[in-house]
Structure 1
Amino acid sequence: MPFLREFWQLTVEMAPYLLFGLLAAGLLKVFLSPEAVARHLGGRGWREVFKAAIFGIPLPLCCCGVLPTGIALSRQGASRGATVAFLISTPQTGVDSILVTYGMLGPVLAVARPLTALVSGVIGGLLVEALASGRRIVSPDGGVSLCQVCQDEACLQRHSLGERLGAALRYGFGELLSEIALPLFGGLVIAALVAVILPPGLLGRLVSPGPGQLLLMVLAGLPLYMCSTASVPLAYALLLQGVSPGAALVFLMCGPATNTTAISVIGATLGWRTLLIFIFSIISVALASGYLLDTLWPQALTLGERLHSTPEGLALWAEVSGGLLLGLVFWHLSLKLRARLRKTPSCSCQSSCCSSHRRPG
C-alpha cells in the first residue's frame, strides 16, 4: 500500500536521529536544570541576552514549559531582555528537533534553524532591553523547584550516576516523547498523505517561490500549536508541494515559537509591548532568514532530491529504530486514549511544564 510504504519510509528516516535526540534531551534535562541555567544567566546587558538565547537552543522545553523556566530566569536577576531572548529561542529548536531536521531535511536547514533561533532571540531581547524594560516577572506560586531526578520538592540527597541516567531515559523516552507523540504521528500521517495523494509541486505552482510563499508560511505557522520536532514532517510535506527551502524555514521557526495560547500568556505576563516585540522579532528574522536561504542556497532541497537515501551501513539500524520509535509512539498514544476514556485528567508534559503550576493539595 503506497501510503504505508511512504509512512514507514518517513519514520525510518527520522527514527535514528529522533531517538538519539530524545536521549540527549533527557541528559540535558537531568544534568542541566532550569535553575542552573537561571543562575548562570542572571544579570543585565547584551552578554546575558546572547547567553540566554544560545542556552535556549538545545534545551528540550516545549512552548508551555519554557515560560516557568523564563520566570526562574527573572527570579535569579535576569533582565527582561534576557528572559525574552530565552523565551524566543528555546521553543524554536531543541537538540532532538535539530537532529530530526538533519535526518529529514538535510544539513543546510539543520544549520539554518538554530542560527535563525539565535538571531531572533538576540534581536528580540535587545529590542526589549531598549524599548520595553521594566519590572521583572513575578512567579504566581512562589517558584517551587523540583529535583530533576526524583521530582521531589524537598530532595536533599545526592543522586548516583545510575539514578541520573535512569531519570534521563524516563524523561526522554517517557515524558518528552509522550508530549510530542500525537503531533509527531499526525505530522507523519499528513506528510505521507501529501506524498501519495497530491501531485508534487502543487503548492509551488499555485504560489510561486518568493515573498508570497514566505508570508504564506508565516500565516500558516503563527496560530498552530506544534512542537519543534513535530513540525519537521509538516515542513517535509510542504517541500514536496513546491515551497522553497526558505519558506520551509519560515514555517519551522514561526510554528513552534508562537500559538494563540502562548501569545495570550506572554501578553498577560510580560506586557503587550513586550509581546509585540516578541512577535515582531520572530516573524521578521524568520522572513529575512528564509529570503537569505533562498538567495544563497536555492538548491538546498529540491523536489528531485528525495530524502529517502539512508546509507547502506545504517539501513538495518534505521529499520530497527523505526520499529522502536513507532512502538513507543503507539504505547504513549494508547496511554493517552486510556486516560481519555477513563475521563481522568491527563497532561502530556507533566513535570517539565506543569510542575510550576501545581499547588499543594
Structure 2
Amino acid sequence: MSEPSVFQKTLHGLRYAATQLIDDLKIWLFIGLLFATIVKTFIPETFLLQYGSGVTTMLLMVAISIPMYICATASTPVAAGFIMAGISPGTALVFMMAGPATNISTLGVIRNEMGNAVLIRYLLGISLCALGFGLFFDWLLQFFHININEQMSHNHELLPYWIGIFCSILFVLLSIKPLRKLIIKT
C-alpha cells in the first residue's frame, strides 16, 4: 500500500475539520456563545470596576473568562476596554490568558475525552498561571513606573468584516448535516 500524497492528506484533514470536528464542537460552541450573551446582557460594564484591582478582581475575572467563548484576537480589544475603564493591566492579562485558553466547548471536549480529573488539573493550571502572571505584570508595571493608559492610543481590526461573515455562514452550513451533505460528499 502506497503512502498517501500530501494533497490526499490535506483533503482528509479538511474533510475531518468540516465534519467530525464541527460535530464535536457545535453544541459546546452554542452553549459558550449563549453564556457570553448572558454575561454581556446582564452584567453591567462597570461591574468589575467596583472591585478595583488585585487578587479578588483577578479571581472574578478568571470565573467570568473561563466559560466564555472568546479568542485571543477578540480578547485584546475587550482587555483594552477594561484597562481604559480603570482595571489594572494585570487583571486584563488574566482575562486574556484564561479566556482564550478555556471555554465551554474546550471544557466539554476535555471532560469527554480525558475525564474530570484532567479537566480539574487543566483549569487549575490555567487559573494559577493567569493569576501569577497577572500579579507579576502589575508588580513589574509599578516597579518600572509604566503607565499602560499612555501607551494605548488606537487599534485596528485584524481581518475584514466580510471574512468573519463568510466564516460564520460556512460554519452554520457545515453544522447542519443535511446542508453539509450538499456541500461535502462524505
Normalised to the residue count of structure 1, the TM-score between the two structures is 0.35
Letter in 2 for 1:327: R
Partners of 2:169 and 2:107 lie apart in 1 by 15
Indicate whether 1:40 and 2:47 are aligned: yes
> Is residue 60–residue 95 contact of structure 1 (8 Å, CA) maintained in 2?
yes
1:21 to partner: Cα distance: 1.1
SS at the partner of 1:140? coil
1:34 to partner: Cα distance: 9.3
Letter in 1 for 2:34: L
Q: Give runs of aligned pairs for residues 211-226 of structure 1, distance below 5 A.
A: none
Partners of 2:54 and 2:63 lie apart in 1 by 15
Among candidates 72, 78, 83, match of residue 92 of structure 2? 83
Q: Percent identity?
A: 17
Letter in 1 for 2:147: R
Letter in 1 for 2:46: R
Partners of 1:122 and 1:176 lie apart in 2 by 37
Per-residue Cα deviation, 1:215-259 (whole angstroms, up to 9, x for no partner): xxxxxxxxxxxxxxxxxxxxxxxxxxxxxxxxxxxxxxxxxxxxx
Among candidates 80, 83, 105, match of residue 74 of structure 1? 83
Q: CA RMSD in A?
A: 3.9
Indicate whether 1:107 and 2:121 are aligned: no
Indicate whether 1:123 and 2:132 are aligned: yes
Letter in 1 for 2:154: P
Letter in 1 for 2:114: L
Normalised to the residue count of structure 2, the TM-score between the two structures is 0.64
Select the structure that is richer in helix: 2
Letter in 1 for 2:109: V
Partners of 1:82 and 1:325 lie apart in 2 by 44
The answer for unaligned runs of 5 or more in structure 2 is 1-8, 156-163
Per-residue Cα deviation, 1:98-148 (whole angstroms, up to 9, x for no partner): 11112223322222222221111111111112222332343515xxxxxxx
SS at the partner of 2:73? coil
Partners of 2:120 and 2:178 lie apart in 1 by 24
Partners of 2:122 and 2:179 lie apart in 1 by 26
Residue number in structure 1 paired with 2:38: 31
SS at the partner of 1:33? helix
Indicate whether 1:15 and 2:23 are aligned: yes
Among candidates 80, 98, 101, match of residue 92 of structure 1? 101
CA pair 95-64 structure 1, distance change in 2 beyond 3 A? same
1:74 to partner: Cα distance: 0.7
